[in-house]
Amino acid sequence: MTKRTGADALAGGDGGTVVSVGDGWESDDGGGGPRRPEDGGGKGVVAAFGQTLKTLRLREGLDRAEFGSRIGYSAATVASFEQGRRIPSPRTIERADEALGAGGLLCVWKEEVERAQYPVFFQGMATLEKEAVELVSYSMPVLNGLLQTEEYMRGLLGMRRPPLDEETTEQRVAARLARQDIFDRQPAPFLSFVLDESLLRRPYGGRTALRGQLEHLLLIGQKRNVEIQVMPLDREDNAGVNGPFTVVTRKDGKKFVYAEARGIGSLETDPEQGVLAAALYGIIRSQALSPRESTEFIERLLGSP
């Protein structure tokens, strides 16, 4: 087994597996919101960006409060950007560039700064989500993060042990919500999800949160590029017994497989494994309820007392 990281894993060449110990793709990482850099290299990028931001702000004769009011942040948040403790979103970088009359000097940092929010391993996965022409996922024991409502997310994060502090929770909620831009991207990727029935019955975050989550699934399932299917608990055959996984296909046709267990995430880059995982997902889909039957199933759950 070859262990590689980030962009190296996606560049091509002989296949292998990238292993990430800790929070994985469906755990708590994602894009968006004020974020912390996740590795040494990322910290260097963010520190350099912060120094550039500060230099340009001082050149314009603005204090942090004045500049913050122009881009919609407090002076304390501006300080955290400049000191490399937080990562601004791409849109924030664009606003800062405009507010400081930087002429694009800040915007050239957008891609590197955005990538810096992730561990080296997850940088590759973040790129894959943005480049995917197809993403298929079998989910259990929790919903794929792309499908989660904010209340559901908070319910899951609230169960973490040791507990997460409030600031970390807010960062991770914002991050996961931002990843859901994939549903509105153009051209639209094909997105398919098979959900174990147990996911639709567990009231993470409370009964109200569960109801909101079920309603959200119905709305998402109406999108023309999205299919949601349910794997009933009474099925005697379920090819997904080995656990959840996601297969992402790029425009060049190469497939990548992500799986996670006990907080250890692995990204499989071997083309053969990608083909096999896609075939396995096809079997799982055939064993699950059809998209129409699944919609009716969720509607019945919503109508239950």
Question: Which tens digits make up the pLDDT trace of 242-294?
Answer: 999 999 999 999 999 988 776 666 889 999 999 999 999 999 999 999 999 99
For residues 215-242, give the mean pLDDT: 97
- Supply the pLDDT for residue 36: 55
| Partner residues linked to 19 by β-bridges | 266
Residue with tokens 């147990």: 198
Contact predicate 46/87, CB 8 Å:
yes
Percent of the chain surpassing pLDDT 90? 62
108: number of Cβ within 10 Å: 14
For residues 169-198, give the mean pLDDT: 87
User: Read out DSSP for 24-54?
Assistant: -TTTT--S-SSB---SHHHHHHHHHHHHHHH
For residues 165-172, give the mean pLDDT: 73
- pTM, full prediction: 0.75
pLDDT bracket for residue 9 (50, 70, 90): low
Question: Which tens digits make up the pLDDT trace of 74-119?
Answer: 999 999 899 887 778 888 999 999 999 999 999 999 888 877 766 5
Residue ranges of E strands in 53-200: 134-139, 190-196
The residue type of 109 is W
Contact predicate 156/204, CB 8 Å:
yes
Positive or negative torsion for Cα 284, 21, 129, 179: positive
- Supply the pLDDT for residue 113: 83
Residue with tokens 């993403």: 135
Q: Could you give the CA distance from residue 80 to residue 52 in angstroms, rounded to a whole number?
A: 13
Q: Which of 42-51, 65-74, 169-178 has the lowest mean pLDDT?
A: 169-178
pLDDT of 20 higher than 50: no
Contact predicate 193/247, CB 8 Å:
no
Q: Could you give the CA distance from residue 238 to residue 218 in angstroms, rounded to a whole number?
A: 23
Question: Which tens digits make up the pLDDT trace of 119-150?
Answer: 565 667 777 888 999 999 999 999 998 999 99
Q: Which residue has the higher pLDDT, 262 or 217?
A: 217
Q: Could you give the CA distance from residue 156 to residue 149 in angstroms, rounded to a whole number?
A: 11
pLDDT of 28 higher than 80: no
Positive or negative torsion for Cα 166, 64, 118, 132: positive
Q: Could you give the CA distance from residue 218 to residue 222 in angstroms, rounded to a whole number?
A: 7
Q: Nearest to residue 192, comparing CAs of 236, 152, 234, 147?
A: 147
Q: Could you give the CA distance from residue 66 to residue 69 in angstroms, rounded to a whole number?
A: 5
Residues 6+ apart with CB under 8 A from 220: 147, 183, 226, 228
Pairing relationship of beta strands 190-196 and 226-231 according to DSSP bridges: parallel
pLDDT bracket for residue 32 (50, 70, 90): very low
- Supply the pLDDT for residue 167: 67
pLDDT of 43 higher than 70: yes
The residue type of 269 is T
In the chain, the domains with their CATH numbers are: 6-31+118-303 (3.30.870.10), 40-115 (1.10.260.40)
- Supply the pLDDT for residue 109: 92
Q: Helix or strand or coil: residue 184?
A: helix
Q: Helix or strand or coil: residue 203?
A: coil
- Supply the pLDDT for residue 126: 74
Q: Which residue has the higher pLDDT, 300 or 26?
A: 300
Q: 270: which DSSP letter?
A: -
Residue with tokens 């314009």: 60
pLDDT bracket for residue 45 (50, 70, 90): confident
Residue with tokens 């004769």: 61
Percent of the chain surpassing pLDDT 70? 80
Q: Could you give the CA distance from residue 63 to residue 66 in angstroms, rounded to a whole number?
A: 5
Pairing relationship of beta strands 134-139 and 190-196 according to DSSP bridges: parallel
